[in-house]
Every structure is written in structure tokens, then in C-alpha cells.
Amino acid sequence: MASVKIRIDYYDQEQKGLIQNNFPKDFDVIEKIAGKTISIPLEDFKTYAFFRHKHSLNGKESSFIDLKEMAQNWGHYDLYLELDERGALINKFPGEIIEANDVSEMIGIAGGLSVASTLYGFTQADWTKIPISKHKDFDFNRISSLEERFINIETKGSIIPDNSKKSSSVSNHKNSIIGKKLDPKFINRRPISNNTNIGIITVADRNHNLQAWLVDPPIRSFDISPKKTRLLKRLYFYHSIIRYITERSHLTIALADRIKAIENTNDYMHLNKVPLVNGGFNKIELSESFVNFKAYNLEKEILGNTYSYDSHIFFLGISKDIVDIIISQDFNRILEIKTVPFTQSLILDCKKSKNEWRKSDMKDSLNITLSSNLKDTQYIHFKMKTDILQSTSGLCIGRQKL
């Protein structure tokens, strides 16, 4: 399994001391990897990089409906970055300024969230934005939570000639992260709390492993339950994938209703292990029609949907086993979802409505193999052969050139 290597260090002794004093629990965890190089599954790093701006359609709710930005990020990643035989993610174009805002930010977010997820055992599902109107910060997707406290991560990224040294851009990132501590307005809005706040600056160059420097950012305080928040983040995350597969299924609607029920009650644990039901009040089962709805692999273990953009066809899906856990509404099992990341070449059976097919550029592709289905005259059936990347959240993505 391919992995990205990241070296972890405190920015300097002052920042180490601040983290030790302000976050003693976290300091003990960080000390286990400080000064060392960790390995991040390539699938996880890419997922964080590709979905770094997973905005919603309405500005509040996490959604996978519009995936054009993921496609663009994937293209930037392949164009400018490469993983060498040592596991070092390096800049392909040394000495050149490359899409600085896009690619540097991609490295910062992917590196920062990868490091934080390693420290706390998180997956991509734990960073999902959720709509909590009283807390504008929750529109910012670098906040996660453990059972007893929130974890807020400030991320920055740079591409420099030599990441073994702190360039001016790295120093500017550090000053930007900690600068709010000197702002009286910010201090008044953010009372002292037991929440964890870590700044992570990830820096790439041409020759070394990625370098992550840790700093001590301002403290943020929230007056809601961290455990409930983490559950909601995960439910929103998996709902957004299921909704991408099919917006109007019993499962999609029932899960949306359950999320709102959990949001609007303090005693949400009474819903633990109460399964999702259909209009007839029967537990929802994954029917053959749902499994076969848009795209799936031969064994029907991965379900998803496809779309085309910029001369590529993309697949986004999820493991069927995870969907079964979501239906069960066993909160402990939902919070424990963590799959083994992999990259595997698969053949997917896919279909599009004839109307979708006519509007897409798939119809002109020479790389798509059409398949006949005499029983289903409303859809165009085709096969897609691609490498599927599964991250620890169970999210599966793939891409094939048209």
C-alpha cells in the first residue's frame, strides 16, 4: 500500500512549550510522533486533497452533488505533484511558482488533516461541515471532536525550494495562525476552554518528505456536545454520499429526517439503535433496485454514481457494509467506522438515463464499453474500468479518461 511520508516537528521550542502548557493531553500524544516521520495512506491524503473545499449547495449542508471542484483538484494534483519511490510527495517543477494559492492550499489542508487524523484516529467523515446556526465556525470544515472536547485545526501550506529550512512564507503562515491571540476582539469572543487547537503548516519541496510544523493557535470555545457533534458530522457525511447516489430513495429521506431529529433534541441517545424505516414503518432494506441504481462493482460491494467533467468520467461511492451500519443507527458502530484504505482496479457496471447521456460528453467517448439490457430501456448501460481509491471513511472514488 502506497503512503505519503510526513515529518512532524514543533515550529520551535516556544511553540512546543505553549502546546505543552495549553494542551497537556494532546502534548503527550504529539510527543509520540514529534521528530519522527509518519506514513499516511495515499488514499487518505488524496481524499483530503481532492475534497478540500467540499462546499454545499445552500452554504450550510455538506454535499457531494457538485463534484467539479474535486475533478479540478485531482487534475492539479496529478499535474504538479508526484510520489517518489521513497514516499516523498514532491513538486515536479522545482524553482517554479506553481498555482501557489491552489496547490499550496491543497498541500496544507491534506497534510494538516492527515496529521490530525493520525493523532486522534479520525477519518474524512469527522471533518464534515454541519449546519449549526449559533456557531458560524461549524461552516469551517477543520473542526472535529472527541467524546469530551472539540479538535480545531488551523492548516497552512507552502511549496519552497528546501523544506528543511523555514522560509519567509512559512514564517508568515506561523504569524497568521497565532496572530489572533493579540487581537482583543478575538480574545473577548473566545473564552478559555478545554478544547484543543493545533496549527499545522505543511511544506513541500523537490527533494524531501513533506514537513509539518506544529504551532499553538488561539483557543476556540463551543457550548454544544462534542460527542453529538461528531455523530452528526458522520451522519451528514454518509447522507451526502447516499444522496449523490439517489436523492429520492426511502433511505435518503429517512436518514435526513433522522439527522434533523438528532439535531433538535438534547436526549438524542433514545434514538440509538432505532433503525431507519420506510413509509410502511418497516426497517429499510437495501433492495436490488437500490444496489443496481447507478453504478456498482461485480460483487456489488461498492455502490455509487458517475459523472463526466473535463474529458474524464468520475465515480464516487461507498461500501455497502457502511450503508447497512447507517440503516441500523447503532451510534457506537457509526462512530467506529474506519475501513482499510486500498487502491484496486475494478470494472464497474454503470447506467445513466437517456436524457443524462445525451447531455454528457460520455456519448462521444471511445473508452466506454456499452452493454445491452433489453429489460431496461430507459437507461444507457456501460462499463467503467478504473482504479478505485477507498479512504478510511469508506468513501470510494475513481477516474477514467473519456
Q: What is the pLDDT of residues 347-383, one digit of tens each?
A: 998 888 888 888 887 777 767 778 776 566 788 888 8
Cα Rg of the chain, angstroms:
22
Torsion sign, CA atoms 238, 243, 246, 252:
positive
User: Among candidates 41, 54, 271, 233, which has minimal Cα distance to 131?
Assistant: 233
Whether 293 has a pLDDT exceeding 80, the answer reads no
Q: What is the pLDDT of residue 54?
A: 55
pLDDT at 228 over 60: yes
* Axis-axis angle for helices 250-263, 226-245 (nearest 10): 160
At 399 the pLDDT is: 92
Q: Which of the residue ranges 82-96, 192-206, 253-267, 351-365 has the most confident prediction, judged by mean pLDDT?
A: 253-267
Task: Flag whether pLDDT at 51 surpasses 50.
Answer: yes
pTM of the shown model: 0.88
Q: Which pLDDT does position 124 carry in this prediction? A: 92
Q: What is the pLDDT of residue 141?
A: 45
110 falls in which pLDDT band (50, 70, 90)? very high
pLDDT at 373: 67
Structure confidence at residue 187 as a pLDDT band (50, 70, 90): low
Averaged over 186-195, what is the pLDDT? 59
What is the C-alpha separation between 339 and 342, in angstroms, rounded? Answer: 9
| pLDDT (0 to 100) of residue 61 | 46
For residues 5-36, one letter each, b for 16 or more C-beta atoms within 10 angstroms of the residue's C-beta and e for the rest, the string is bbbbebbeeebbebbbebbeebbeebeebeee
pLDDT value of position 359: 80
Kindly state the average pLDDT of the residues 307-322.
89
pLDDT band at 28 (very low <50, low <70, confident <90, very high): very high
Residues 6+ apart with CB under 8 A from 58: none
Reply yes or no on whether the pLDDT at 71 is more than 60.
yes
